[in-house]
């Protein structure tokens, strides 16, 4: 499986950045705290969080390409941190097997949990990484997320033109519901649980922008299965269908918001 095109993702990920800023507002970090950004990507939001005076932020991601982009931008001084020396540190690791024990006052995550298949393990390792009374503030794709786009992609994948490329296909994303999420958080040892779903559609003005976004973000795993010379046609078919929607070129995003706290002393 190919890694992300991190430079392109950094350029086009404004929807994820906007959602993440809303989640970061709920995080409300204060001076003296240590924050883990789980699934930091290219560090756009990690840098903004790190700009809060007096906190230390670690950005963690599985993608070498994403982290390289984040570190390179930091080295070039392309950062929102007030002082580059106090900018975030970056670590490559599995979000479901965090290499930390009682190290953070808060774990923050935006647009990442749906890429992790085992949420039991995910919430357990986050619980271990938090200090006593530490908090989890997160958002990810939730139940129903992108069902219109992915439903069309499934039908296209099953067509005679493409079906041979999708044998033994497994969906790469896991969009969870509120009830199961709260149950998993409780089993992991969290308290003060809150989970909710919110509809957050994203509309593109031009078909070229829609096609570029879905190819790089939503359909990356789908397109990896195809020969290079067939990927553009696959994406174009889905873009043509999206043009007929009302409103056109709209992605039906559903966001799962999560808040929880580890018990104190």
**What does the pLDDT read at residue 76?**
76
pLDDT digits 0-9 by tens, 213-258? 999 999 999 999 999 999 999 999 999 999 999 999 999 999 999 9
pLDDT digits 0-9 by tens, 106-160? 999 999 999 999 999 999 999 999 999 999 999 999 999 999 999 999 999 999 9
Q: pLDDT-derived band of residue 82, with 50, 70 and 90 as boundaries? A: very low
- DSSP three-state, residue 86: helix
Choice between 80 and 86, residue whose per-residue pLDDT is larger: 86
Q: pLDDT-derived band of residue 73, with 50, 70 and 90 as boundaries? A: confident
Phi and psi dihedrals of 251, rounded to 5? -95, 130
**What does the pLDDT read at residue 149?**
98
Distance of alpha carbon 213 from its chain centroid, rounded?
14
Q: pLDDT-derived band of residue 81, with 50, 70 and 90 as boundaries? A: very low
Domain contains 240: yes
* Among the listed residues 255, 256, 221, 250, the one whose alpha carbon sits nearest the alpha carbon of residue 238: 250
- Give the range of the structural domain holding residue 17, as residue numbers without chain letter: 6-262
Q: pLDDT-derived band of residue 1, with 50, 70 and 90 as boundaries? A: low
Query: CATH number, domain at 142?
Result: 3.40.50.150
Q: pLDDT-derived band of residue 85, with 50, 70 and 90 as boundaries? A: low
**What does the pLDDT read at residue 137?**
98
Domain contains 256: yes
Query: What is residue 2's DSSP assignment?
Result: P
Domain contains 1: no
How many domains does the structure of the chain reveal? 1
* Among the listed residues 37, 92, 45, the one whose alpha carbon sits nearest the alpha carbon of residue 67: 92
Domain contains 26: yes
**What does the pLDDT read at residue 84?**
47
pLDDT digits 0-9 by tens, 21-62? 999 999 999 999 999 999 999 999 999 999 999 999 999 999
Domain contains 40: yes
Domain contains 46: yes
Q: pLDDT-derived band of residue 74, with 50, 70 and 90 as boundaries? A: confident
- Measuring CA to CA, how many Å separate 54 from each of 86, 108, 110, 127, 264? 9, 17, 22, 24, 23
pLDDT digits 0-9 by tens, 4-17? 999 999 999 999 99
> Which residues, other chains included, contact 48 with Cβ-Cβ below 8 Å and sequence gap of 6+?
21, 24, 80
- Tell me what the mean pLDDT of segment 77-98 comes to: 77
**Region of poorest pLDDT, from 71-85, 172-186, 212-226:** 71-85
Task: Say whether pLDDT at 86 is over 70.
Answer: no
């Amino acid at each position: 499986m190919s890694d992300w095109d991190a430079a392109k993702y950094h350029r086009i990920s404004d929807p994820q950045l906007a959602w993440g800023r809303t989640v970061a507002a709920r995080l409300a970090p204060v001076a003296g705290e240590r924050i883990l950004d789980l699934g930091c990507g290219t560090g756009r939001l990690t840098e903004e969080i790190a700009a809060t005076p007096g906190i230390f932020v670690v950005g963690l991601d599985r993608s070498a390409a994403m982290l390289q982009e984040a570190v390179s931008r930091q080295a070039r001084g392309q950062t929102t941190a007030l002082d580059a020396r106090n900018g975030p540190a970056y670590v490559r690791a599995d979000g479901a097997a965090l290499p930390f024990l009682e190290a953070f006052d808060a774990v923050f995550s935006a647009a990442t949990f749906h890429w992790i298949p085992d949420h039991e393990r995910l919430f357990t390792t986050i619980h271990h990484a938090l200090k006593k009374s530490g908090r989890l503030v997160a958002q990810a794709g939730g139940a129903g997320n992108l069902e219109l786009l992915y439903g069309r992609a499934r039908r296209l994948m099953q067509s005679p033109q493409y079906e041979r490329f999708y044998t033994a296909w497994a969906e790469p994303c896991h969009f969870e519901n509120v009830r199961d999420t709260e149950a998993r958080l409780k089993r992991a040892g969290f308290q003060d649980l809150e989970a909710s779903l919110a509809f957050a559609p994203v509309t593109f003005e031009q078909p070229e922008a829609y096609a570029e976004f879905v190819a790089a973000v939503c359909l990356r795993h789908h397109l990896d299965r195809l020969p290079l010379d067939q990927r553009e046609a696959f994406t174009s078919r889905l873009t043509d269908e999206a043009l007929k929607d009302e409103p056109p070129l709209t992605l039906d995003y559903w966001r799962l918001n999560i808040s929880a706290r580890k018990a104190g002393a």
